[in-house]
Amino acid sequence: MRILAATNLNLEDMVRSGRFREDLLYRLNVITLNLPALRERSEDILTLADRFLARFVKEYARPARGFSEEARAALLNYRWPGNIRELRNVIERASIICPQERVEVSHLGMAEQPTNNAPRVGAALSLDELEKAHIGAVLATSETLDQAAKTLGIDASTLYRKRKQYNL
């Protein structure tokens, strides 16, 4: 029997804090694959979207055969907080409701996201831009400021000052 397990948590940290069993970690941790979030692999978004569309169009016998340029741009600019599962669901929805050959932005039904001008992977960034993006990402996934500060490895007072500095 083989077990495939996935998590977005740091299990080693959880073992150290007593929230995860060490023996279980070593039993599960035979091969570790670190996969970046979809938003960090923007070059894969359109390929995945095209494949999902082809699959769902066939499954639901729908007319859509591709995406408009505006829809493709929207897919690339979205932050994908739900990762690949969210992309799959968005494309499935679009394939079902799209009555024509080209999926439009309106068919995607993606939630509006605040424009934070988040940098794309591979973009040339200043150190301040990189720091702002990193702090923003950590804040978005942390339940408290203390937790975010701990993740960032800084004091809460430093995080408060950085939030003010970057308008986060």
Spans of all domains in the chain: 1-34, 38-108, 127-166
CATH architecture of 38-108: Orthogonal Bundle (1.10)
Q: How far apart are CA 123 and CA 106, in angstroms?
A: 29
Lowest mean pLDDT of 4-8, 80-84, 114-118, name the range: 114-118
| pLDDT at residue 134, rounded to an integer | 85
The pLDDT tens digits of the residues spanning 85-135 come to: 999 999 999 999 999 999 999 999 886 554 444 555 555 567 878 888 888
Joined together, the tokens standing for residue 129 give 């831009």
The backbone torsions φ and ψ at residue 66, rounded to the nearest 5 degrees and listed phi first, read 180, -175
In contact, 75 and 112? CB cutoff 8 Å:
no
Q: Residue 134: which of 146, 116, 112 has the closest Cα?
A: 116
* Strand 102-103 relative to strand 66-67, pairing: parallel
In contact, 119 and 125? CB cutoff 8 Å:
yes
Confidence of residue 167 (pLDDT cuts 50, 70, 90): confident
